[in-house]
Structure formats: structure tokens, C-alpha cells
Structure 1
Amino acid sequence: MTSPHATGTPDQATTADGVHRVSVLLYSDDITVRDAVRAAAGRRPARDVEVTSWLECATADAVVEALDAGGHDVVVLDGEAVPMGGLGLCRQLKNEIFECPPILVLTGRPQDAWLAGWSLADDVVPHPLDPIALSEAIAGLARARVAAAG
């Protein structure tokens, strides 16, 4: 049995012009997937959301350690990661992290969206990655994080 982890207190700041500055934790064992996510989302996934930092993790243990430390506003997990997929990891994080940041799961195909529901993911985007859908999902989760914190 695992014990609850530290809080996922938001580290984001909203500037006077209404721009939400966010830190994103990105998990995939595949560097090409991590590169594709960062390229698709870019630095500014929406006019009111700016990604100030990306923390890339290649193992599930690194994700848990990083979330224990706090300071991440949005989490993106690769559902196709090996040996621990993002769907199982998402469910674990949602059950263990107090005030877990919103999580976006990347699924292998659109038909896997129901698995994201089981995993307690806040949003889902299927492979192949659509840059618009990915950007909108990250921006939406960042906005939701601000609303929850405020």
C-alpha cells in the first residue's frame, strides 16, 4: 500500500495582462514523442497561456518524484509508454497525489478514450498528435488549474 504524496500546489503565475504562466511535466519513454509534444504545444499553446518550463521524464518513478516535489501545473502522460503506460500511471497519481495537477493522457488511438476515463485523466488526445487539439487541451487544463486555485 502506498501513502499519499505531497500536494500538487500550483506554481503558475498570472500576469497583469491575463497570461497564465505554467510549468508542464511531460512523461514518455520515447524521446521522439516528448519532442513531438513540445513542438506541437509550443511555448504559447493559447494567447492566454504560456509554458515557462517543461520537465521531461522518461520513467514513472521520475514522474512521481517530480510531482512529490511540486511546482507543476499540467501533466502530460504518454499512454503508450513502456514499461508503465500513462493510463495506469495517471490512475495511480490521481489516487496518491493530494490536489494532483490536471493530467492529459495521450492515447494510442481515438477508441481508447474510454480508458482515459478509467484512468481519471482530465483530458485525452489520441496519436497521431494533432497540434491544435494538443494545444487546446494543455491550455484548457492550465485555465482549469487557475480556476481551481483561485
Structure 2
Amino acid sequence: MHVGEKVTRLGFGWKTSDHILARYRESPEKDGILVAWAGNNNFDDPERVEADVDAIAALHGDSTKLLVSGLANGDYPGRRFGESGYKKIIDYNAKQADRFGDHFLDIRAVLIAQVASRNPGDILPEKIRKDKIHLNYGGNWRAAGIVYSRLKQLGLAS
């Protein structure tokens, strides 16, 4: 991202990946850099999330200007370390990392590594959440910095 470049937000808390796909289909903005972070609210259907992310990427068309962000796990039963939902999230992220390579960002792992010294559930730390999963103001700033750093590594930001 460069000074003066337009940013369009299509995802909002409490929306599923299919909702974000629908918003992207309706958006006139299909060029530029796309950060696709979708699926936290329907993580339990990783095939659906993957299909929606693939459709978003296909609509965007330029894989060199795409960054796919992984799923994050909040403080819900089933999503903590060793539980079935946790395994779905970790497996989805690993699969996306294999598929997208450097254009994949495991935002969950980076946020946890930056903030949590002790975190037996391996979940997004409470101090960066406003509820059980959605980031608060400080968490969003951290996530934005992480995304910006990756975009710089990819040569997509200065």
C-alpha cells in the first residue's frame, strides 16, 4: 500500500465467509491489493471457508496482490488447544499456508506470539479482544501492523 491508495473494507465482525464473498462480488473495487481474512465465524465448515476464499481470490484475479489471512480461535469451548475446533483451525491454516505460500499470513500465531507469554488454550489473548474472538482497538492496530509488515515483505507496501 502506498500513500493515497484506496482501501475498501468488506468484512465485518459476526459475518461469515459467504457474506464477505457476496460483498466482494458487489464491490466495484477489484484491483489493487486484497487482504482476504474470512471464515472466523464459520470456521467449523473449513471446506466452505476455503471455497469462499478461493472465489474471492478468483474474483480479484491478481494472486501477486493477494494476502490470505488465516483463521483465529477465540475463547470458546472447542476452540482451545487440543479440542476439535482448534484442530480444524490449525489444519485449515496449515493447508492455506501450503496453498498460498508467502501470500498466506497466520495472523493467529503472530498475534499470540506477540502478546501472550502464558496461554495454555493457545487462543487470542484477552487483552487484545473486545469479546471472545473479535479484536479490540489495540488488537486491530496490532493486526494492521502485522498485515502491513507482510505486505512490505511481499513488495506490496512501502
Query: Normalized per residue, which structure has more strand?
Result: 1
Query: Normalized per residue, which structure has more helix?
Result: 2
Give the TM-score, by structure 2 length. 0.44
Give the TM-score, by structure 1 length. 0.45
Higher relative contact order (CA 8 A, sep 6+): 1
